[in-house]
Structure 1
């Protein structure tokens, strides 16, 4: 029987100490092979029906990870496009509550409307800041800049108490943190970070009644019968949330299907435990070195104030991390090891 370790080592052999999944995930070997085969299909003029099957395979796999039926999952190219759909559905003057300095792809569509009241508060005060006039609470599950995790149960209950909807960006959590998308109104996430897919995909989860959204980006793939919806106005939109699909990047989905299969084989709970153990090892090492990271208990992302300036130096030493908002940001995922953590600590101590 294959173990977590043997499965991972069969898929990854990075040449550098890669601790930058919060920017881009590494591609498993099976994903690289799947993309290469998809490219060959396109290059050789063979039938590509299997690539459209990959799209539906990815939809089903993400639904399982998110805890919702596949019929509630739409797929496009970016989080911002789905934020734009939600923003377009709000009435003029509606209040949108966000966390200060949250990721721009989440918050910017609401600012671009021009006639919404967008209010930003500290992340730790988000739940208590929901009020009767709040129409929507939009927040990243995990903050990109520093790894802090939102109080999602608190936000959910406060929103329900005031009749507000909830919209989560799970781009920095999907793939290591178990999701409960069914507990919220809307959820979006990209596939190229912790889900380890190629660029070009974003997921969107919406209610069965579509939450009042209009499929403004709908093309042929949004039809109930896509191949019969290629010409003229789409006569019948998909009866499911697939009506919010955008024409798929087929090579991306060929690879992403393989990546999601690996996560399911490993088990999200095992990935979660592995990633947190490494992050906690790094936090403990930082304490020994006299550094105090941004408090982010339970997060696979650890950010250290004022050390972002050392990112270039670390990269030259073969250690890939990020400089975000002046913080040195390290992100620990399933392909990382205790040796990776200790090497980063050794270089920081020098």
Structure 2
């Protein structure tokens, strides 16, 4: 059991009011709230050790570099990786674009001999799934357009689970990249990573996993999962905005040519050519997010201290309570209502009421949820809707808050004059 009252005391914003009511924050899948420990860590760096990292000869630069690299080791350890396999990014979207463009550079013949192993050719295939966030779909669309590769998609069943039989048919000798989400930001279902990795390994394809919705909620060991690359965003895991991570297996990172170039990622430069540092610095051109990285390290220490197993159990219990209440309400349809392991979120459609109207109704009662297609328009199209309401919990949410949501949802259709 979590001591949720103690946890909530660490999050200043949870004491705020919205529209004259206590805030019920159920939008953590979009961005989590931040504990004092994270705010303090970044403040302490900025007020006591702020300096540009690497290559500085003065004391502050050395202190800042130590804090920055200690943060890398802390965050890498949190996801089951050595420090040299974690690249700092501005978030998951940047990490996925970095991969797409770097593979495109390999295809164009840039990079060393090993980078040829990543190159795509016309007729090669990139496989994603029908449930992806746009950030794990559009970069692959762009890569396919630049290289002549074909983009294919593993379909989702009506209950939101991936069709592994179809995946087995789609992933074949021409497949070079398999990109998938660990947990859908709409459905909340934990996807079968081992099976997807095995299918990709059979044909020598690269695997890329979006861990944005799993890193804050599940114990995560990327090396043990066997994926080649994975991305996550700090702001969804109690950390600051503007920082995230790209994990890569050592041999894959070493083969990957750079995407962004400039200072901090080179060994030697002439007017006509340059040589690049090894990973991870090869992919960290320019000024780095030093304060946010230190804040993210504080965030993962906080999650570790509470315990990911306990967090997951708490959030699963809240998700089960939310489902039990919502399915009893006429006109409410849950998306992805599968008997499967999941994190603490549900997206739902309110029959006869647009999601944005439903969200405004809930906001008037102090309940913050997400409305729209959640950057997963193709998945919503499959369900025959343009938008849904999504309520998502985190370690700081309570059963009473879930009950408040369910009670409020009961009144939506009547408020808008929709017949039950």
User: Normalising by the residue count of structure 1, what TM-score does the alignment of the two structures yield?
Assistant: 0.88
Matches within 5 A, 1:94-133: 94-113=124-143, 114=145, 115-123=148-156, 124-125=162-163, 127-128=167-168, 129-133=170-174
**Is 1:198 paired with 2:237?**
no
**Is 1:161 paired with 2:161?**
no
Distance, in Å, in 1 between the alignment partners of 2:201 and 2:238 is 34
CA deviation map 1:217-268 (0-9, x unaligned): 24443357xxxx7998765513x43432344222312322221110111121
- CA-CA distance at 1:304 after TM superposition: 0.9
Distance, in Å, in 2 between the alignment partners of 1:275 and 1:218 is 41
Distance, in Å, in 2 between the alignment partners of 1:263 and 1:55 is 19
* 2:349 equivalent in structure 1: 305
* 2:260 equivalent in structure 1: 217
Q: Is the 8 A contact 2:88 2:245 kept in 1?
A: yes
Q: 328-337 or 109-118, which moves further after superposition?
A: 109-118
286 and 50 in structure 1: CA distance in 2 versus 1, 3 angstrom threshold: farther
Matches within 5 A, 1:153-302: 153-182=194-223, 183-193=226-236, 195-211=237-253, 212-223=255-266, 235=275, 237-238=277-278, 240-246=279-285, 247-290=287-330, 291-294=332-335, 295=337, 297=340, 298-302=342-346
Distance, in Å, in 1 between the alignment partners of 2:155 and 2:183 is 14
- CA-CA distance at 1:146 after TM superposition: 2.8
Q: What RMSD in Å do the two structures reach over aligned CA positions?
A: 2.8
Distance, in Å, in 1 between the alignment partners of 2:102 and 2:231 is 11
**Is 1:33 paired with 2:40?**
yes
* 1:22 equivalent in structure 2: 29
Q: Which has the larger radius of gyration?
A: 2
153 and 324 in structure 1: CA distance in 2 versus 1, 3 angstrom threshold: farther
Distance, in Å, in 1 between the alignment partners of 2:321 and 2:269 is 54
Distance, in Å, in 2 between the alignment partners of 1:44 and 1:53 is 11
44 and 58 in structure 1: CA distance in 2 versus 1, 3 angstrom threshold: closer
Distance, in Å, in 2 between the alignment partners of 1:10 and 1:346 is 25
Q: 334-343 or 114-123, which moves further after superposition?
A: 114-123
206 and 218 in structure 1: CA distance in 2 versus 1, 3 angstrom threshold: farther
Matches within 5 A, 1:40-59: 40-41=47-48, 47=60, 49-59=62-72
Stretches of structure 1 that go unaligned for 5 or more consecutive residues are none
* 2:416 equivalent in structure 1: none
Q: Is the 8 A contact 1:98 1:118 kept in 2?
A: yes
Q: Is the 8 A contact 1:275 1:334 kept in 2?
A: yes
Q: Is the 8 A contact 1:220 1:234 kept in 2?
A: no
* 2:415 equivalent in structure 1: none
CA deviation map 1:258-283 (0-9, x unaligned): 21110111121111111111111111
* 2:99 equivalent in structure 1: 83
Distance, in Å, in 1 between the alignment partners of 2:388 and 2:275 is 51
Q: Is the 8 A contact 1:79 1:105 kept in 2?
A: no
Q: Secondary structure at the match of 1:304?
A: strand
- CA-CA distance at 1:32 after TM superposition: 1.6
Q: Secondary structure at the match of 1:75?
A: strand
Q: Secondary structure at the match of 2:327?
A: helix
User: Normalising by the residue count of structure 2, what TM-score does the alignment of the two structures yield?
Assistant: 0.74
User: How many residues end up aligned between the 2 structures?
Assistant: 343
65 and 37 in structure 1: CA distance in 2 versus 1, 3 angstrom threshold: closer
304 and 167 in structure 1: CA distance in 2 versus 1, 3 angstrom threshold: same
Q: Is the 8 A contact 1:190 1:201 kept in 2?
A: yes
Distance, in Å, in 1 between the alignment partners of 2:270 and 2:302 is 38
CA deviation map 1:16-59 (0-9, x unaligned): 11111111110111112223334435899993544433322332
**Is 1:315 paired with 2:363?**
yes
**Is 1:329 paired with 2:390?**
yes
Q: Is the 8 A contact 1:321 1:329 kept in 2?
A: yes
Q: Is the 8 A contact 1:51 1:254 kept in 2?
A: no
Stretches of structure 2 that go unaligned for 5 or more consecutive residues are 17-22, 53-58, 107-118, 157-161, 374-386, 412-420
Distance, in Å, in 2 between the alignment partners of 1:236 and 1:86 is 14
